[in-house]
Amino acid sequence: MSIHIPSQIAHTSSMNHPDIEPRILDEWQEITNLVANLCNVPAALVMRQNIESMEVMSGSQHVDSPYKAHETAPLHDELYCETVIKTQKPLHVANALKDPD
């Protein structure tokens, strides 16, 4: 199960991002681990939109999670997080491995 909830974080038009303090990254790590555990899923992520890519800022530390921090994927309207950002609505995907989109 994947549940993506839009954030209301403001971005500058140039997508210049401030550096994230290590203590914030540590807190995000705790949150992603907790969410993955509570939802019984291998991956919970905090993502950041860059100009041409999405970046994993924090990913749950689960043996079956395929994501690593600071990994990037190009923007092509194929990522679930892109859909959430564009629609500003929650997105529920019961099983991403079986999702035709």
Per-residue model confidence as pLDDT tens digits over 21-74: 999 999 999 999 999 999 988 889 999 999 899 999 999 999 988 888 889 999
Residue type at position 7 = S
Look at the alpha carbons of 77, 99, 85, 22 in this order and tell me if their dihedral is positive or negative: negative
**pLDDT value, residue 9:** 40
Going by pLDDT thresholds of 50, 70 and 90, the confidence category of residue 77 is confident
**pLDDT value, residue 87:** 92
Measure CA 95 to chain center.
16
Are 58 and 68 within 8 A, CB to CB?
no
Indicate the pTM of the whole model: 0.73
List the chain domain ranges. 21-93
Q: How many CB atoms lie within 10 A of CB 24?
A: 13
**pLDDT value, residue 14:** 40
Q: Name the region of 28 (left: φ>0; alpha: ψ -120 to 50; beta: rest).
A: alpha
42: tokens are 């291998």
